[in-house]
Amino acid sequence: MEPLPSWNDSAAKSAILDFVARTTANGGAEFVPPAERIAVFDNDGTLWCEYPLQVQVFFALAEVKRLAQQDPSLLKKPAFKAFLAGDLKTLTSLPKQEVFEPAFATHAGMTVEEFHANASRWLRNAEHPKLGRRFVANTYAPQRELLDHLRANGFKTYIVTGGGLEFVRVIAESHYGIPPEQVIGSSTRMKLETGEGGMVLRKLPALGSFDDRDEKVVNIALHIGRRPVFAFGNSDGDLAMLRYTLGGAGPRMAWYLHHDDAEREFAYDRDFRLSVFKDGLDHAAEYGIGLVSMKNDWKRVFAEDGNGRA
């Protein structure tokens, strides 16, 4: 089968296919050894829909009532108050880290296994309020094909997400073919507990790493230890990662997905506070980052029809 069938025959598609061909041609001038073929992808807005709120924020919305009952002092925090009031306007006006705070709070006190089970249960059924389909149906078909094509050519594909590590791991293997050890993300601190049932890791109400902007590069160094050769993002939160990728010697490629498709998905960039795309958009060309237009470069957007069928 021809690779990238959900991509239009555009310059972006040609450039990607050409890059993969050049870097994997044995004996070619731009050959990259298999061990160095590291590709990193942001998740929210790059691999699945993040608008009008990231999926994990919707999950937190569903969870946060339970938390506020346990600890009413949480209601003093603007993000929690806005959450409970369903006040999207306030939420989208707050800094990203603050908006994610309730999301991280929904982990606290649970073991890693409990959190995973809880998030899995929610993700099986929860629906996107505007698209009217399950959240998990909103992964992007062209990106899943791109991940497959990279892997078929010996690339190791990673997710590097501002979202929670364990949250994204719930769907990473089933939906993107990416195993848990190749998911890098935000994390809470954890504590090892030894009880009657053996050892468990309990999540603490304290942020370990907020995997956004520069921290994405730091975490790539900690988890991978190599500079990627291919990177894909969609917001200013990914800019450091894309520039870091392009900064190495030899062939490199980095892309931004531009959400310019109000018809099939959403059109947003500079004004989306929760995942601003402004510096990246203004300076992409200067930095050598390519722009993929959802509207023009993609033949098809979503990987599933909303009922779980591919």
> SS3 string of the chain?
CCCCCCECCCHHHHHHHHHHHHHHCCCCCCCCCHHHCEEEECCECCCECCCCCCHHHHHHHHHHHHHHHHCHHHHHCHHHHHHHHCCHHHHCCCCHHHHHHHHHHCCCCCEHHHHHHHHHHHHHHCECCCCCCEHHHHEEHHHHHHHHHHHHCCCEEEEEEEEEHHHHHHHHHHHHCCCHHHEEEEEEEEEEEEECCEEEEEEEEEEEECCCCHHHHHHHHHHCCCCCCEEEECCHHHHHHHHHHHCCCCCCEEEEEECECCCCCCECCCCCHHHCCCHHHHHHHHHCCEEEEHHHHECCCECCCCCCCC
User: 130, 191, 264, 270: which one contacts a copy of itself (CB under 8 A)?
Assistant: 191
Nearer to a copy of itself, 96 or 203 (CB): 203
* Under rule CB under 8 A, residue 207 binds a copy of itself: no
Selected from 1, 29, 35, 310, the binder of a copy of itself by CB under 8 A is 35
Window of 49-57, 134-142, 164-172, 292-300 that interacts with a copy of itself by CB under 8 A: 164-172
Interface residue with a copy of itself among 15, 224, 276, 291 (CB under 8 A) is 224
279 binds a copy of itself (CB under 8 A): no
In the numeric block, which tokens belong to residue 117?
């089970």
Among 63, 166, 236, 238, binds a copy of itself (CB under 8 A): 166
Q: Which of 33, 72, 225, 286 binds a copy of itself (CB under 8 A)?
A: 225
Query: x/- site string to a copy of itself, residues 242 to 271, per CB under 8 A?
Result: -xx--x------------------------
Q: How far is the CB of 240 from a copy of itself (least distance, A)?
A: 6
239 binds a copy of itself (CB under 8 A): no
Among 76, 198, 307, 310, binds a copy of itself (CB under 8 A): 198
Binding a copy of itself (rule: CB under 8 A), the pick from 39, 53, 136, 240 is 240
Q: Which residues bind a copy of itself (CB under 8 A)?
A: 35, 38, 112, 156, 165-166, 169, 173, 179-181, 183, 187, 190-192, 194, 198-199, 201, 208, 214, 217-218, 221-226, 240, 243-244, 247
